[in-house]
Structure 1
């Protein structure tokens, strides 16, 4: 998926001065050294910058350390969206939980919005946290499909990315639309889809985006707040599909 790239990084360096005691005149008692300020805020933790050869081991270990973290709350100016992450896409779940716990998404926005299709987030012009340029190995499962409310990870096309590895940060939520049978059959033929009868029924009655099926990793689904997705999908956008007024987010793991 085509996105804007404008991420800058800075490090904050904190230096501690050495406090020297002052000696008084002859015969006077020496003053006590000044005490350190114990109320100073602790520095914000930052994630280890991952390289591609570290991804599988690091995310596997993180997932094992957070085995029950599957519920995530995305708070936006339009309202809250609660999503459930799937456990059988473990690398993607661990990556999303890890970034959420570090506060990475809190300085990002929904930067691509296409009404009746999807909303995509995970970038902004103001994000400074450095995470590395790694990609996540594909975890495409046939039983997960792009129904309305599905959550997936974006990726570059097959020509640049034949392994279909996912972006480390760009996620999308499907809004979609109900597909009449002729449109659904056209998608099945064009994209060579193998859908179950139940999946076809969901596309007809609830809607979704079958053109993404079996080529992108679906990592979870909206369990509350789909109307917020509809509201974000309706905002005015520029020629690149970026909302005219940024729609930011706060992302919190709530288990």
Structure 2
């Protein structure tokens, strides 16, 4: 073999060896933003945002367990003691007794909540009473459901009697040996001078101070079975006189 061939072979071998020993270069890194999927671990690892403090709170509902405590607190700063009740016959005003605090607070609270608006004088007994706060409308049931189910204890020993014009609270129709009061209804005595056989069983909590002629007119309407008026007598508005 000639010297020239040997030199050529040696050069080729050196070139081959140097190529095999070269370290490969890393591909250039992308500068494009990386999109993170919404359900990826990166997103899940971020602490959840705290609920807005202005979020709607759970609605308050009165119950047998909380009603007395609620009205005890409600009456502490209660200045108002008059409610004007408006019907198609006109308006009359009742003044509530301060020393019957739970029944007074209950009546003011329901009037402010708009409960009485749209209810009816659903029981009329000639020369005896007119009774209101109920109706056969679905809306009345809805209002009661939203406000709550509760009864009030009788408060009959404050010296008030069932004189003509007295507003009092009927007892519940449920099995009720303690004569607990139905908070959504009320009756007004029309009898002259009064219906004193009711004393001790029902709680007088106020009296009509203006518009007794309207009460008398309501008491004079024709009624049918169950003492329900032939024509509905709606309470158009019950307004607290602040």
TM-score by length of structure 1 reads: 0.67
- 1:162 equivalent to 2:173? Answer no
Question: Matched residue of 2:197: which SS?
Answer: helix
- 1:50 equivalent to 2:62? Answer yes
Contact persistence 2:100–2:158 (CA under 8 A): no
Other-structure match for 2:165: 149
Query: What is the root-mean-square deviation in Å for CA atoms of aligned residues?
Result: 1.5
- 1:86 equivalent to 2:97? Answer yes
Cα distance, 1:60 vs. partner? 1.1
Question: Matched residue of 1:107: which SS?
Answer: coil
Contact persistence 1:156–1:164 (CA under 8 A): yes
Question: Matched residue of 1:106: which SS?
Answer: coil
Larger CA deviation: 104-113 vs 126-135: 126-135
Other-structure match for 1:176: 191
Q: Paired residue for 2:111, among 100, 104, 123?
A: 100
Q: Paired residue for 1:246, among 209, 213, 232?
A: 232
- 1:219 equivalent to 2:205? Answer yes
Cα distance, 1:254 vs. partner? 0.2
Structure 1 residues without counterparts, runs of 5 or longer: 1-46, 178-206
Tell me the matched-pair count: 178
Other-structure match for 2:125: 114
- 1:75 equivalent to 2:91? Answer no
Other-structure match for 1:135: 151
Find the aligned partners of 2:69 and 2:85 in 1 and give their Cα distance: 27
Contact persistence 1:71–1:254 (CA under 8 A): yes
Cα distance, 1:242 vs. partner? 0.7
Contact persistence 2:99–2:158 (CA under 8 A): no
Structure 2 residues without counterparts, runs of 5 or longer: 1-58
Cα distance, 1:232 vs. partner? 0.3
Question: Matched residue of 1:172: which SS?
Answer: strand
Q: Deviations over 1:55-110 (max 9, x none)?
A: 11111111124x21101100111111100001111010111000000100002000
- 1:210 equivalent to 2:196? Answer yes
TM-score by length of structure 2 reads: 0.70
Find the aligned partners of 1:88 and 1:225 in 2 and give their Cα distance: 24
Contact persistence 1:112–1:241 (CA under 8 A): yes
Runs of 4+ in 1 over 4 A off after TM superposition: none
